[in-house]
Amino acid sequence: MPALAAIAACGLLVILASGNGQAQKPPASPLGSISPRTGLLLNDDVVVRLIQASSGDRAHDYVSRLALWSREQVSEGFTRAAEWVVEKAKEFGLERVAIERFPSDGKIAYFGEVMPPQWKVRKGELWLTSPFLMKITTYDDLPMSLAEGSTSADVEAELVDIGAGRGDSDYAAGVKGKIVLTSSRPFDIFERAVNKEGAAGILSSWSVPDFDYLNRRPGDFPDQVGWPRIPREAVEGAGHFAFAISARRAQDLRAMMGQGKAPRVHAGVDAALVPGHLEVVSGVIPGAAYPQEEVIVTAHLDHYKPGANDNASGSAAILEMARTMRELIESGKLQPPLRTIRFMWVPEYRGTYAWLSAHLNDPVRRIANLNFDMVGEDVVKTNSVLSLTYTSDSNPSFLNAVIESIVDFANTYNNERYPPQLDLYIGSITGSRNRLSVRMAPYSTGTDHELFNNLRIGASSFGAWPDNFYHSSEDTPDKVDPTQLHRAVVIGLAGITTVAYADSEQAPDIARLSLIYGRRRIAASEFSAVRSLLAASKEGFSDVDHLAGNMIAHVYRRERAAVGSAAMFARTAQARSDIEKTIALLSGDEAASRKKLDEAAALRAGELKVVRAPRSLTEAEKRAARLFPARNKGKELHNLGYISRILAKDSTAQVPKIQAALDEITRLYQAQGDSELRLMGFSDAAAFYADGQRSILEIRDAVAAEYAPMPIEALELYFRAFEKAGVMTIAEKRERK
Coil, helix or strand for 393?
coil
Report how far residue 720's alpha carbon sits from residue 173's, in angstroms, rounded to the nearest whole number. 48
Say if CB 474 and CB 421 are below 8 A apart: no
Please, which residue, 211 or 527, has the CB nearer to Zn ion? 211
Best CA proximity match to 30, nearest among 451, 332, 286 = 332
Angle at 144 between CA 141 and CA 147, to 5 degrees: 120
Residue 307 CB, nearest approach to Zn ion (Å)? 8
Report how far residue 69's alpha carbon sits from residue 624's, in angstroms, rounded to the nearest whole number. 52
Between the alpha carbon of residue 319 and those of residues 293, 356, 486, 567, the distances in Å are 21, 21, 12, 30
Residue 677 CB, nearest approach to Zn ion (Å)? 12
Residue 450 CB, nearest approach to Zn ion (Å)? 12
Please, which residue, 481 or 526, has the CB nearer to Zn ion? 481
Please, which residue, 74 or 128, has the CB nearer to Zn ion? 74
Please, which residue, 227 or 688, has the CB nearer to Zn ion? 227
> Can you give 622-669 as a three-state secondary structure string?
HHHCCEEEEECCCCCCCCHHHHHHHCCCCHHHCHHHHHHHHHHHHHHH
Report how far residue 98's alpha carbon sits from residue 86's, in angstroms, rounded to the nearest whole number. 7
Residue 205 CB, nearest approach to Zn ion (Å)? 23
Please, which residue, 53 or 451, has the CB nearer to Zn ion? 451
Query: Beta-strand (E) ranges in 131-245?
Result: 134-138, 153-163, 179-182, 201-204, 242-244
Report how far residue 203's alpha carbon sits from residue 184's, in angstroms, rounded to the nearest whole number. 9
Please, which residue, 310 or 559, has the CB nearer to Zn ion? 310
Residue 600 CB, nearest approach to Zn ion (Å)? 42
Helix-, strand-, coil-residue percentages of the chain, each rounded to 5: 45, 20, 35
| Sign, Cα dihedral of 252, 257, 262, 267 | positive
Please, which residue, 311 or 395, has the CB nearer to Zn ion? 311
Residue 301 CB, nearest approach to Zn ion (Å)? 10
Please, which residue, 206 or 349, has the CB nearer to Zn ion? 349
Residue 171 CB, nearest approach to Zn ion (Å)? 35
Residue 300 CB, nearest approach to Zn ion (Å)? 6
Please, which residue, 467 or 716, has the CB nearer to Zn ion? 467
Q: Count other Cβ atoms within 10 Å, centred on residue 300.
A: 27
Distance from the Cα of residue 185 to its chain's centroid: 23
Residues in contact with Zn ion by the rule CB under 5 A = 310-311, 373
Residue 512 CB, nearest approach to Zn ion (Å)? 35
Residues in the chain: 737
